[in-house]
Structure 1
């Protein structure tokens, strides 16, 4: 099982994995071993849900939890 933060870092740094993710997000996350809960959070696009899966405090959600997943990932 992969952890979400490591997966997001890999997608941001690996152009091949990024392309795979862009073409098939759920399939790529499954192949990388993400849990159902992590995959559901990412696919929902809900910042609070993703932040919770990343272990961020709820206070961070209002400040700056920015996860952009398309052709790249930005985690400020």
Structure 2
């Protein structure tokens, strides 16, 4: 089962700009965009921790198992 990335949804709910989150994490906006789209093969726990810290959320709020079997982004 693929992992669905809900980072874009969480950012929208928190009214967070990609530029601000990318700067806080220490990655480029381009890499953050790839992460939001679910087009990365993995994410470091340190990066995930910083995302959750900035958004005041839990990893399960932004990463879900897609039980439908689709690897398409659902933002």
Same fold (TM over 0.5): no
- TM-score under structure 2 length normalisation: 0.30
Instruction: Identify the structure with the greater strand proportion.
Output: 2
Instruction: Identify the structure with the greater helix proportion.
Output: 1
- TM-score under structure 1 length normalisation: 0.30
Bigger relative contact order, structure 1 or 2 (CA pairs below 8 A, ≥6 apart): 2
